[in-house]
Amino acid sequence: MSRHLALITQTQALIAAGDIVGAESALSELADTQGDGALVEVLGELAPKDVLAVMREYDESKASVVNMLVTPEQFARALVLEKQYKDATHTHLRSMVNAVVFRGDADPLEFITAIGDLEGGSEALAHYFAEKWSRLEAFARTGLFDATEDYGPSLTEDQLFNVAYAPPKVDQDEVADRDWMQLAWLLRYQCPDLFIETLLVLRAKAQAHDEGLGDDEAGTDEDDDGKFETSETDRGKATPAARASDEESAI
């Protein structure tokens, strides 16, 4: 039995009630009183959906101890569940990923690798880049982040693999924005297979959208897509309670 069972139960109850601020406060207090290691241990025992509920409420105006201490594996397990929130602009997703992957003490590649190792990882990255799809295609084609190159023929899958290991045309320092450009650079030149997979997922989503199949549930007849309205979850107004499917998808 976990030595932190009471805190875990309390945190889960607060999250289920929509009190994200209270849940994060309880976790922060644990780190203050028992050390960072205790918090990392508790994050490992919380359901990924609960870790996600706290992380996605990231506020740039203040530091989040959870975002600062979550491990790459814990983060990846939570990230693949983010699609269950109806966040049309993916604002929360981008903020959360940037805050964690580019935090001061972290190696971004450890997080990227952990994401790529999970089923649904490339889909989560595709959501992250959704608003920058044409820029990502241009980067794949030209190796540059020049907006004037955004509109041109996309490389075929074979061509993408043929240029996967081409040397960079720009140094990472030139795009070290701790945002989508730096993540795209790391993916293309450090994890090219994951970069290509992410780009192909983006293309598939665009095609499904054009065919009227929906973004994430193309080809399914289910009325309930299992997503949550972000208007109800933003800023801790109401966070969905656990569902069996959440746990299964995180395994």
Complete DSSP assignment for 70-139: --HHHHHHHHTTGGGEE-TT-HHHHHHHHHHHT-TT--HHHHHHHHHTSTTHHHHHHHHTGGGHHHHHHH
Q: What is the pTM of this model?
A: 0.81
Distance (Å, rounded) from C-alpha 246 to C-alpha 251?
A: 9
Interhelix angle 5-16/20-34, nearest 10 degrees: 160
Each of the 251 residues of the chain gets a pLDDT tens digit; together they read 568 999 999 999 999 999 999 999 999 999 999 999 999 999 999 999 999 999 988 676 677 899 999 999 999 999 999 988 877 888 889 999 999 999 998 999 999 999 999 999 999 999 999 999 999 999 999 999 988 887 888 999 999 999 999 999 999 999 999 999 999 999 999 999 999 999 999 999 888 877 776 654 543 333 334 443 433 333 333 333 333 344 433 33
Closest among 135, 192, 201 to 164, alpha carbons compared: 192
Closest among 189, 190, 213, 187 to 200, alpha carbons compared: 187
